[in-house]
A and B are shown apart, each in its own frame.
Chain A
Amino acid sequence: MANPSHLKYTEEHEWLEINGDSATVGITAYAAEKLGDVVYVELPKVGSSINAGTVVGEIESTKSVGELYAPASGTVVEVNDAVVASPELVNEDPFGAGWLIKISITDMPALLEADAYTALTGE
C-alpha cells in the first residue's frame, strides 16, 4: 500500500496527520503487514501526557508484539475505541479507520515525508 503523501512518518512506523496543533496517529501499512493479523491493541488513556519516542501502547498480532511509540510530545485527546473493539481495522485500513490516537502537540520532533519513509522501508 502506498504511503499517503499528506501524512508525516516516524522511523518507528507511525504516521501523523497534522492539523494545526493536533494530530491523528496510526501505524503504517508496512508495520501492519510486518506484524500480521492484529488481535489486540492497548492505547494510552485520554488525558495522559506522552513524550516523543517513548512507548505508549501495544499492538499485538497472533505472532508478536509491536510497540506504539509517541511520535510527538503532548496530550492524548482521543483514542479510537473502534480499533480497540475490532483490532483487525489496523490491518484492513491502517491509514484510515485503523487510526489509534489523537494528540494535542506541545513538541514535535523532525518527521519524515512520505517519500523518505517509503525509501526507509524499501517498499
Chain B
Amino acid sequence: MSDTPRYSPLHAVHESLGASFTDFAGFMMPVRYDSDLAEHHAVRTAAGIFDISHMAEISITGPDAGAFLDYALAGKLSALNIGQAKYSLLLNEAGGIIDDLVIYRLGETHWLVVANAGNRFPAVEALNHRTTGFDVNVKDESDATALIAVQGPNALDILQHTVGLELSAEAHDRPENTLETLKYYWSLPAVFLGNPVLIGRTGYTGEDGFELYIDVQHAAALWNALMVAGESRGLVPTGLACRDTLRLEAGMPLYGHELNLTTAPVQAGLGKVVALSKEGDFVGRAAAEKGVAADAPVLVGLVGEGKRAARADYEVYSGENKVGVITSGALSPTLEYPIAMAFVDPSVSEIGNVIDVDIRGTRLPYTVTALPFYSRKKN
C-alpha cells in the first residue's frame, strides 16, 4: 500500500457534504456524513447512497473468457447469462480465499470482475497468473471506474426519477428490460447523459438496491443527479460505518474479518460457492475436494443481550475452554441487541447453543443463531 492516500473521484463531493473520512485500503473514504445510526436507519427505511469507487473493476474479455474464469475462480461463471451476476471466490491452490468478488457477464465474451479494494493487486496478479493457455485479456479498469451504490426500499423509485439516467438501446433486447423487473443479481446497460453506466441490482446491505458503474469523469454528475432525485425520497449520503453495520445485520462476510487466505470457504458457510460439480480443474479444487479437518472452526452468528457488543478478535468460551474468536460484532442498530459473527469449534456451533464472549474481561452469554440476523420483508 502506498503511503500517499488515494482519493475517490467523488472526494470533493464528500467534502462538500461534510463527510468524516477514514483510511480504507489506502483510500480516504467517507466513514460517515453526520450520524452513522441515522444513515443506517435511512438505508433500512428509505435509501442511502454510498461511494464505493475504491473497489476494483477487472474486465475479462476474449474468446476463452468464460473457460478462463471457470478455471481461475471457484464458481461456474461461463454459465451466467448475459446480464447476470454471481458472487464467487478467488482461491489459492491451498483452497484459501484470496478475495470474494462479484462477477457480471456483460457480453458473449465479456465479464466484469469486481474485487475488494484491499485485494485489488493480489486479485489482478492471480488472474493474470492463471491466463496461461487461455485466449483471454485481463484488464484492470479500477482507476477509470467509479462505483455508486443506492440501497434501500426507495432505491428503485430514485433511479427511475434520476434525470439523465436511462436504459441504453441495447438493454431493450433483454427479457429483463426495465429496472422494475430487473431481478436481484442481474444488470442492465444504461446511459447517463450519453455516458455508459452499468446498473446491477446488487449490493451489500441486505436491502433492495442498485450499484452503478460509470467512468470517473462523470461520477460526480451522476451522484448529484441521484441526490436530486432522492431529495424527496429520503435518500441520504451514507458512509462506511453504516455499511459495516448493515452488512453485518445481513450476515454478509467481510474480507479480512470472516474471510482470509487461511480460511476454507466451507468453514465460512460458502461451500456452495465452490462449484465442485463443474467440469475441469480450477485453482483450489483439489484442496476443496479434500475438505477440512473435522474440528476446523466454523462461522456462526451470535446474539447477545444488553448493550455491550462483542468486537472483532474477542475470545469465545465454553466453560473455561476457549472455543473461538469473534470476527465482527456490533450493537445492531435495527434489532437493538448485540450481534456478532465468530469462528468457533464445531462442537459448540449448534443453533441455540449458549457460549460466552469475553468482553474486555467480562464474560457475557451469546446464543448461536442462524444467519442472517436481519432479512428485509419481501413483497
Contacts and interface: CB of A to CB of B under 8 A. Distances in A.
Given A62-B40, A63-B244, A91-B35, A33 B307 contact: no
B240 to A, nearest CB: 9
B221 interface: no
Interface in A49-75: 58, 60-65
A105 B308 CA distance: 30
A40 B304 CA distance: 14
A60 B309 contact: yes
Contacts of B331: 39-40, 60, 62
A37 interface: yes
B360 A62 contact: no
A123 to B, nearest CB: 12
B311 A65 contact: yes
Which of the listed residues A39, A58, A62, A64 has the most CB atoms from chain B within 10 Å of its own CB? A62
Interface string A98-111: 00000000000000
Given A60-B307, A65-B360, A39 B37 contact: yes
A91 B246 CA distance: 21
A37 B311 contact: no
B360 A40 contact: no
Contacts, number: 44
B91 interface: no
B contact face: mostly helix, strand, loop, or mixed = mixed
Contact of B308 (A36, A60, A61, A88): A60
Interface in B316-351: 330-331, 333
Interface string B128-172: 000000000000000000000000000000000000000000000
A62 B13 CA distance: 25
Contacts of B242: 62
Contact of A37 (B35, B307, B309): B35
A62 B309 CA distance: 9
A52 to B, nearest CB: 21
B307 A62 contact: no
B36 A62 contact: yes
Nearest to B336: A39
A77 B273 CA distance: 58
A115 B36 CA distance: 29
Contact of B36 (A37, A42, A58): A37
A28 B344 CA distance: 39
The 4 closest A-B pairs by CB, nearest first: A40-B307, A37-B37, A39-B331, A36-B36
Given A63-B245, A65-B360, 11 more contacts: A39-B331, A40-B307, A40-B309, A40-B331, A60-B308, A60-B309, A60-B331, A62-B241, A62-B333, A63-B36, A65-B311
Interface of A: 33, 36-37, 39-40, 42, 58, 60-65, 88, 91
